[in-house]
Every structure is written in structure tokens, then in C-alpha cells.
Amino acid sequence: MLFDLRPKRRREEIFDREKEFKEIEQSLSSYPMVLILGIRRVGKSSILQAYLNENPGILIDCRELYAESGHLTKDDLIRELQSKAGTLRRITSKFKISLNLRFLNIEPRETSLREVFKELDRIGRETGKFIIAFDEAQYLRFYGSRGGKELLALFAYAYDNLPNLRLVLTGSEIGLLHDFLDITNYESPLYGRPAGEIIVEPFNRETSFEFLKSGFEEAGINVDEKEIESAVELLDGVPGWLVTFGVEYLREKDFEKAIQRTFEIARGLLMGELKELRGRSPRYIEILKAIALGYNRWSLIRDYLRVRGDRIPDPRLYALIENLKKMSWISEENETYRITDPVVATVLKNPK
């Protein structure tokens, strides 16, 4: 079902990402570590889960794991890996491997991540490769007390010494993930170990149109192509929003209502995300609003804030804008900023 709000789990459910699957395949044959990057709701988790459905490996959702406790420890991660026992059993039985995975039967404190990785590498020896995937891996910077350095050292160890393991990391806060891995810094544990990179882009206009059309066909309802065109005009190409629109249209059977509901839902989701951002600095929200409203160059943003009584020092504004870029909220071209997701821009422009 294309119009299903959950991340897809099977390749047949995924629309038009053959190129990405091919890139992942090729990257994994050249690099011990591969990054899947893209803005929120673009389909990273769907692609990853579908890939893992066909290839031996396990998936750890770092965003969820972090949200549960507000930090990440070695024992949290080992417990999470232990919770994949079912998947591991399915893999070992599919490949007819008899392996005693010690880490599944002991307390987390009795082993180390390195030992667990070694055991998983042994599965890979039998199956060709074994993937450990970390979804939203920028949250791994909250591992331990040193910004995740211990984990990076483990990744470097795996990179160098465990030939059957592959690490796949996804990230929607692309700059933050790059900063965390820091492979160009010689003081970083991962220094000099390049990763393959797959960028998942939003659909272009044509693909967005085809996506909606296929979704409606699959659901067996006839929708005027003009309406589909208008939806693409308003929503652009982030699959998550197109799915939301599709689901709402099936419910409402009315274009205007479905669009309205889609933006309401987007607003709801966004409020949660903006709240997290506001916690880091309330100025982020003002800067995003400025850009959404078309104050999209450095001096215009500064003036926008000034008019609102915020005499922000230049270096501070510079730093905040850089951070918004790293978190993929905005992108910059020719010294002009834009909100990366047009739906987000529309919501920011129309305060309730």
C-alpha cells in the first residue's frame, strides 16, 4: 500500500527508489561504512528497512532509543542488540548457520560492544556480509560522556578488523552526522576512513505526480489529474507529505479538505520538532520564520530580528544559521537561504 503512513518494509511497497537500492548495493561492496542521508520524511527508513528485509542485518533506531532515556549507554545498546534475537534467529536459520551467539544469553555488563560486533561479524562470514544499521545516527553523539567518541573508536575497529561487517548510518541532520563522524579530522577515531554516501532526494514534480496517481489507482479511486497536479504544486516532493495527502484524500474524498488536513498534520508534527529546536535557542524559530517569509539573505535576516527587538551579535547569528544548515532545516545557494522542505516553509509562513 503506497498510502500507508508507516515506513515501508518491503521493496515492492517502495515507489521509484531503484537507483538508491543499486547505490546502496554498490557502496556496500566498496565501503565498510555507508551513510544514507536525506531530509525528514524523504524515505530513508523505508529504503533501509526494505534493504534489510532482503539482506542479513539488524536495525537500531537511535532516535527512539535516545528519546526513551535521554542518553545512550553501552548497556542500552547491547540490550537493544539483544532485542534483535528474533531477526538473528531468522537469519541464521535461513542461511543454515549453527552459531552460538553468546551475547544473547548474558547480562549486558558481562560483555562489550566489541565482542558483540565480533560475534555479528561471524554471521557475516557465513552469509557474505552482515549489516548493523543505525537509523538517525546523529543521536549517537549522545553515547557515553565523550560525545560518542568510544563508539567511533568501535566503528574504526570494525572498519579495520571485521571484514564481514558493514555499518550503515542514516541521518536527517546531515551536517550533524558529518560533524559527529568527523572523518577528515586527524584527531577523530574514524580519521581517514571514507564512507560511501547515498543522498535520498525528494521526488521531482513528475515522480510526485506518478506517485500520487499510482497510490490512487492502487486504492481503486478515480482522482482528477488536475487535482493531483495541484497537490504536487502545493506539497512538492517529500514522500511523507504525499502519503499523508493520499491517506487524507481517501478519507475525505475531497481535495480541499485533504490539503487542509495535510497541512494541519504537518503543523502538528512540526510543532513538536520546533519545540525541540526552541529548547536549543528560541532564535532558531525566528530565523526560520524570516527565511520562510522571504528574508532570505544574511542582512535581511539580521534586520528582521532587529525590527523585532533582537540585536543579535553577528557571530551569533552566523553560528545559528550554520547550525540550521547542519540540521538540514535550511540550505544555502548563492548566499540565499531557503527552507529545505516547502511544506515546512508554508507552515512557518502561516502562523495560526
Ligand X SMILES: Nc1ncnc2c1ncn2[C@@H]1O[C@H](COP(=O)(O)OP(=O)(O)OP(=O)(O)O)[C@@H](O)[C@H]1O
Looking at beta carbons only, is 82 or 340 nearer to ligand X? 340
Cα 185 to the center of its chain, rounded Å? 24
The dihedral sign for the CA sequence 184, 28, 13, 132? negative
Our finding on whether 172 is near ligand X (CB under 6 A) is yes
The residue type found at 46 is S
Residue 44's closest CA among 217, 234, 172, 174? 172
In the complex, minimum distance from the CB of residue 3 to Mg ion, in angstroms, rounded to a whole number: 18
| Residue 41 binding target from ligand X, Mg ion, none, CB below 5 to 8 Å by type | ligand X
Q: How far apart are CA 138 and CA 35, in angstroms?
A: 11
Question: Among 24, 34, 43, 158, which residue sits at the site for ligand X (rule: CB under 6 A)?
Answer: 43
In the complex, minimum distance from the CB of residue 15 to Mg ion, in angstroms, rounded to a whole number: 16
Looking at beta carbons only, is 167 or 247 nearer to ligand X? 247
Near ligand X in 188-247, by CB under 6 A? 239-240, 243
Pairing of the two strands 336-339 and 330-333: antiparallel
- Tell me the per-residue interface mask from 265 to 284 with ligand X, x by CB under 6 A, - otherwise: --------------------
* Contacts (Cβ under 8 Å, ≥6 apart) of 139: 62, 63, 65, 66, 72
Exposed e or buried b for every residue in 118-138, given b needs 16+ CB within 10 A? Answer: bbbbbbbebbebbbbbbbbbb
Our finding on whether 15 is near ligand X (CB under 6 A) is yes
Give the alpha-carbon dihedral of 149, 154, 160, 162, to 10 degrees. Answer: -160
Looking at beta carbons only, is 2 or 195 nearer to ligand X? 2
| Residue 46 binding target from Mg ion, ligand X, none, CB below 5 to 8 Å by type | ligand X
| Residue 148 binding target from ligand X, Mg ion, none, CB below 5 to 8 Å by type | none
Q: How far apart are CA 77 and CA 255, in angstroms?
A: 45
- Tell me the per-residue interface mask from 22 to 41 with ligand X, x by CB under 6 A, - otherwise: ----------------x-xx
Count of H helices and E strands in the chain?
16, 7
Q: Which stretch binds ligand X (CB under 6 A): 4-12, 76-84, 228-236, 331-339?
A: 4-12
In the complex, minimum distance from the CB of residue 38 to ligand X, in angstroms, rounded to a whole number: 6
Our finding on whether 133 is near ligand X (CB under 6 A) is no
Looking at beta carbons only, is 111 or 172 nearer to Mg ion? 172
Our finding on whether 2 is near ligand X (CB under 6 A) is yes
Residues found near Mg ion in the complex (CB under 5 A): 45
Cα 111 to the center of its chain, rounded Å? 30
In the complex, residue closest to ligand X by CB:
43
Q: How far apart are CA 258 and CA 249, in angstroms?
A: 5
| Residue 91 binding target from ligand X, Mg ion, none, CB below 5 to 8 Å by type | none
Q: How far apart are CA 168 and CA 91, in angstroms?
A: 18
- Using CB under 6 A, list all residues that contact ligand X: 2, 4-8, 14-15, 17, 38, 40-46, 172, 239-240, 243
